[in-house]
């Protein structure tokens, strides 16, 4: 029995009630009718009950500036019986306010990288450019081992819902011109669905269920946004699902979030709560069925690209493509959707940063396919079971690599309209809940772009990814294709340097106003070259696998030779091309750095 605290706003009480009672369907299948009961606390009814009293289970509503939700419970230490459970829901989750994203873009979500890679950041803080930024976080070391991981009751759904709500409102604004972030004219259906989804998720925790981060891959996006509009857009409410916004609403818009329990939730409740042990065990034979797939918090730190937070649909790459397209459609409209007449422009800056953060998330999700491996929990003899490890098909890895190259690493992929950049003013409000005073007046566009590009590039060529690419060579069957380490480096070099690697085809007369190589691309080239140099100078025992380090050295030689040939060719063909001061200085610097690195020797300790 749950008591809904009187602090819950009237407009959301029905959604909260439905979210709690949704679990009755699963219990009814076990023969337990009306297992979940909801009572509403008011000024006159149940007013004497204290939410802190262990005898009562409460749904609580609090107010803060940090959106979160949690479903803690107390269990009997010997039997595991759940004695008491409460759900805490923060009001700011249902306000589409635009938080600060500056540090989020610079530091990137650490959940995209394995504990081994994160440990390298701490052991080599200056070796991996920008990687050391995460070690400054007070929580950077909290997941060093499974024993120090957050408890099963910890839930970060609320923090993500803040971002998803903002993205959802901006996306809906494309369909409804009158809708504007901050106007409070949000569709009630939209907010009700989000509240109900979060409530179902947190109730699941109180019932003993852990997160299931592979549940989002059960249905394809075309099925989710079909005319049937299934209420279970994934197989479990225990995943972290983004707000579902159809790429083309004219073709159909499904539910924004989960509106009913998924098949996995029914299956888990049957196993855990059915009065008959024999009946509960019957479902175990179906463990290998796709609708019952399970992967929880620690699995997101593994190599499986299908086990992720905040993705949706059977193919995460399809979702990433749609997210790239959505952000690019929204960016030019950021000012119109966030700033009204008589208002200042700081919300436009926050909206652009929010969109870029989402763009970065799609890119990092795609990078996990390179060197990716499916992981399965099936046991020997399970019907339809698979082996524990299964390398992602080479064509899928190659698709992900090209997707990141096209939308993140290629020249011009992150260009923004000049007028938009001039509109991104800072806020000037100074109070305990604002960091406006620490925000620079000028919008650091180049810093934002490099932050997105460098983290995506790092996701493709960090030691962990390179090691898995090499391991795949041994794990693939004879005749199967392979995305090799040399192919990855060659593809990246061709994308990042473009025509600079082919002096014969390079043409154009750059100027100071229109340099041959844009500033954003020069920044990325410097970062990439720096990464290659770091790998070349590692020596034996370094974090990068030896074979990958050797390939990186070869790639550095190719870049050096191409840039030298470019400078040698310029005087002989002044009518075809000439390098502007920015590009010439950049090319000469890269040549100098590569020469020093390739000619460097090793000095043994005394």
Please indicate, yes or no, whether residues 467 and 550 belong to a single structural domain of this protein: no
Domain limit, last residue, from 450, 473, 496: 473
Q: Would residue 29 count as lying in a domain?
A: no
Distance CA 426, CA 512 (A): 29
Domain limit, last residue, from 473, 507, 527: 473
Q: What total number of domains does the chain contain?
A: 2
Please indicate, yes or no, whether residues 291 and 352 belong to a single structural domain of this protein: yes
**pTM given for the model:** 0.90
Please indicate, yes or no, whether residues 396 and 518 belong to a single structural domain of this protein: no
pLDDT per residue over 474-529, tens digit each? Answer: 998 888 899 999 999 999 999 999 999 988 878 777 889 999 999 999 999 999 99
Question: What pLDDT shows up at residue 158?
Answer: 63
Cβ distance 456 to 465 under 8 Å? no
Q: Which residue has the higher pLDDT, 168 or 553?
A: 553
Please indicate, yes or no, whether residues 190 and 285 belong to a single structural domain of this protein: yes
Please indicate, yes or no, whether residues 248 and 385 belong to a single structural domain of this protein: yes
User: Binning pLDDT at 50, 70 and 90, where does residue 111 land?
Assistant: low
Please indicate, yes or no, whether residues 469 and 491 belong to a single structural domain of this protein: no
Question: What pLDDT shows up at residue 440?
Answer: 82
Please indicate, yes or no, whether residues 389 and 531 belong to a single structural domain of this protein: no
Please indicate, yes or no, whether residues 391 and 531 belong to a single structural domain of this protein: no
Please indicate, yes or no, whether residues 532 and 395 belong to a single structural domain of this protein: no
Question: What pLDDT shows up at residue 399?
Answer: 99
pLDDT per residue over 62-91, tens digit each? Answer: 876 665 667 667 787 887 777 778 888 777
107, pLDDT greater than 70: no
The DSSP string of 334-354 is HHHHH--TT--SHHHHHHHHH
Distance CA 213, CA 306 (A): 8
Cβ distance 192 to 12 under 8 Å? yes
Distance CA 602, CA 565 (A): 28
Q: Would residue 71 count as lying in a domain?
A: no
537, pLDDT greater than 50: yes
Domain limit, last residue, from 409, 444, 473: 473
Q: Would residue 42 count as lying in a domain?
A: no
Q: Would residue 497 count as lying in a domain?
A: yes
Q: Which residue has the higher pLDDT, 519 or 340?
A: 519
Question: What pLDDT shows up at residue 45?
Answer: 92
Q: Would residue 364 count as lying in a domain?
A: yes
Q: Would residue 379 count as lying in a domain?
A: yes
Please indicate, yes or no, whether residues 488 and 469 belong to a single structural domain of this protein: no
Cβ distance 213 to 235 under 8 Å? no
The secondary structure of 595-606, three-state, reads: HHHHHCCCCCCC
Please indicate, yes or no, whether residues 415 and 462 belong to a single structural domain of this protein: yes
Instruction: Quote the domain boundaries for residue 495.
Output: 484-599
Query: Which residues touch 553 (CB under 8 Å, ≥6 apart)?
Result: 532, 535, 536, 598
Question: What pLDDT shows up at residue 61?
Answer: 87
Q: Would residue 433 count as lying in a domain?
A: yes
Please indicate, yes or no, whether residues 113 and 188 belong to a single structural domain of this protein: yes
């Amino acid at each position: 029995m749950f008591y809904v605290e009187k602090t819950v706003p009237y407009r959301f009480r029905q959604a909260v009630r439905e979210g709690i009672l949704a679990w009755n369907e699963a219990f009814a299948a076990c023969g337990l009718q009306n297992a979940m009961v909801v009572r509403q606390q008011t000024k006159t009814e149940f007013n004497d009950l204290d939410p802190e009293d262990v005898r009562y289970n409460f749904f609580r509503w609090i107010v803060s500036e940090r959106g979160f939700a949690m479903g803690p419970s107390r269990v009997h230490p010997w039997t595991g019986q759940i004695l008491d459970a409460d759900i805490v829901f923060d009001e700011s989750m249902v306000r589409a306010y635009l938080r600060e994203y500056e540090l989020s873009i610079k530091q990137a979500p650490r959940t995209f990288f394995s504990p081994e890679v994160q440990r390298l950041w701490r052991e080599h803080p200056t070796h991996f450019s920008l990687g050391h930024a995460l070690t400054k976080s007070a929580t950077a070391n909290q997941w060093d081992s499974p024993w120090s991981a957050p408890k099963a009751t910890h839930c970060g759904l609320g923090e993500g819902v803040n971002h998803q709500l903002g993205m959802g409102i901006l996306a809906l604004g494309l369909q409804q011109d009158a809708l504007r972030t901050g106007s409070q004219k949000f569709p009630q259906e939209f907010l009700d669905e989000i509240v109900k989804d979060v409530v179902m998720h947190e109730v699941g925790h109180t019932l003993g269920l852990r997160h299931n981060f592979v549940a989002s891959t059960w249905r394809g996006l075309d099925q989710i946004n079909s005319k049937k509009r299934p209420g279970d857009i994934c197989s479990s409410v225990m995943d972290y699902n983004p707000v579902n916004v159809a790429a083309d609403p004219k073709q159909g818009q499904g539910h924004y979030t989960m509106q009913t329990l998924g098949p996995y939730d029914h299956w888990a409740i049957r196993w855990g709560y059915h009065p008959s042990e024999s009946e509960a065990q019957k479902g175990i034979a179906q463990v290998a069925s796709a609708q019952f797939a399970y992967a929880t918090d620690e699995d997101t730190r593994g190599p499986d690209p299908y086990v992720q937070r905040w993705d949706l649909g059977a193919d995460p790459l399809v979702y990433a493509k749609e997210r790239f397209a959505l952000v690019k459609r929204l960016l030019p409209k950021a000012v119109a959707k966030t700033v009204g007449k008589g208002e200042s422009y700081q919300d436009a800056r926050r909206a652009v940063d929010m969109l870029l953060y989402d763009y970065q998330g799609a890119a990092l999700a795609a990078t996990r396919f390179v060197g990716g491996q499916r992981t399965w929990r099936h046991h020997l003899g399970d019907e339809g079971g698979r082996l524990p490890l299964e390398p992602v098909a080479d064509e899928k890895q190659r698709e992900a690599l090209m997707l990141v190259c096209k939308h993140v690493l290629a020249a011009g992929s992150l260009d923004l309209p000049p007028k938009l950049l001039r509109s991104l003013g800072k806020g000037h409000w100074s109070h305990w809940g604002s960091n406006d005073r620490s925000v620079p007046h000028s919008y650091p566009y180049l810093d934002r772009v490099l932050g997105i590009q460098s983290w995506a590039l790092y996701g493709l060529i960090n030691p962990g990814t390179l090691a898995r690419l090499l391991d795949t060579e041994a794990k693939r069957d004879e005749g199967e294709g392979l995305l090799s380490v040399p192919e990855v480096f060659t593809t990246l070099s061709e994308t990042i340097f473009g025509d600079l690697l082919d002096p014969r085809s390079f043409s154009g007369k750059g100027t100071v106003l229109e340099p041959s190589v844009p500033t954003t691309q020069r920044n990325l080239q410097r970062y990439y070259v720096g990464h290659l140099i770091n790998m070349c100078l590692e020596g034996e025992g370094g974090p990068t696998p030896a074979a990958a380090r050797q390939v990186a050295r070869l790639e550095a030689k190719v870049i050096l030779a191409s840039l030298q040939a470019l400078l040698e060719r310029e005087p002989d063909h002044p009518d075809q091309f000439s390098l502007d001061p920015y590009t010439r200085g950049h090319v000469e610097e890269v040549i100098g750095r590569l020469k020093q690195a390739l000619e460097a020797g090793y000095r043994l300790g005394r």
